[in-house]
Amino acid sequence: MCKHKILIVDDEKKIRDLIKLFLQNEGFAVKNSSSGQQALDHLNSNQYDLVILDLMMPGIDGWEVCRQIRKNSEIPIIMLTARNDEVDRVIGLELGADDYIVKPFSPREMVARVKAVLRRTTKAEKLSSNISSKLTFNNISIDPDSREISCCEKKIILTPKEFDLLLYLARSPGRAYSREQLLENVWGYDYFGDLRTVDTHINRLRDKLHQDNDHKYIATVWGVGYKFEVDE
């Protein structure tokens, strides 16, 4: 069985070594990187299954590394932040991060989150390969194969997680999902997710889909959660 390869990016050696120790004990193949530039070099020359990325680093910080990664890769990213600041979390999620962990953290929780994100990624890949036909509703078209979406004949740029969330909702039009269901099925968390993560992504999706279109594709179901809504 092939080991999942994890890249840890943090300028603090103690943190890198601690995470590496716990992940290796769980059977992961781990590579450490002490700077943003070194991380980008590793990613350009090697294949990894997940990146654990510190936000606050000298030189190229975690936000810029995430931007560079998302230009041509959908590799899962877990961000590390030293502050429990909602702004940091929102920026990270908007850039395409899959999860975040606030320092100080439990190494066991870190391992659990890594496993959860990898489970979600594997599940999404299998689902996409089994159900790959293009979805078209009114003025919106969603292509799971190319991971492209157009609305009113205009291409819409989504982060990987925004696309996954929209695709999940659109595959069952009219069905209401709770935040907990979306968190579990789109992010793959068991008990680690923050429900505000769902709200943040829904709001971003709405902004992007409604710019040139009056139709509100994602409706709030009060007391429940959200649903994908189309005209009959």
Q: Which residues of the chain are in CATH 1.10.10.10 domains?
A: 131-228
Angle of helix 13-25 relative to helix 107-130, nearest 10 degrees, comes to: 60
Residue of 178, 165, 170, 97 lying closest to 135 (CA atoms): 170
Q: Evaluate if pTM is beyond 0.75.
A: no
- For the record, the structure tokens of 188 come out as 């793959």
For β-strands 225-228 and 177-178, DSSP reports them as: antiparallel
Report pLDDT for 158: 85
Residue 194 has pLDDT above 80, yes or no: no
Residue 182 has pLDDT above 80, yes or no: yes
Q: What is the pLDDT of residues 138-177, one digit of tens each?
A: 788 888 878 888 887 788 888 888 888 999 999 888 899 9
Helix (H, G, I), strand (E, B) or coil at 3: coil
For residue 71, what pLDDT band results from cuts at 50, 70 and 90?
confident
Residue 118: CB atoms within 10 A of its CB come to 18
d(C-alpha 150, C-alpha 213), whole Å: 11
CATH code that applies to domain 5-126? 3.40.50.2300
Residue 180 has pLDDT above 60, yes or no: yes
Report pLDDT for 65: 92
Query: Could you tell me the strand order of the sheet in which 29-33 lies?
Result: 29-33, 5-9, 50-54, 77-81, 99-102
Residue 121: CB atoms within 10 A of its CB come to 20
Residue 2 has pLDDT above 70, yes or no: no
Report pLDDT for 29: 94
- For the record, the structure tokens of 137 come out as 């509703």
d(C-alpha 35, C-alpha 21), whole Å: 19
Q: Which residues of the chain are in CATH 3.40.50.2300 domains?
A: 5-126
What is the fold of 131-228?
Answer: Arc Repressor Mutant, subunit A (1.10.10)
For residue 37, what pLDDT band results from cuts at 50, 70 and 90?
very high
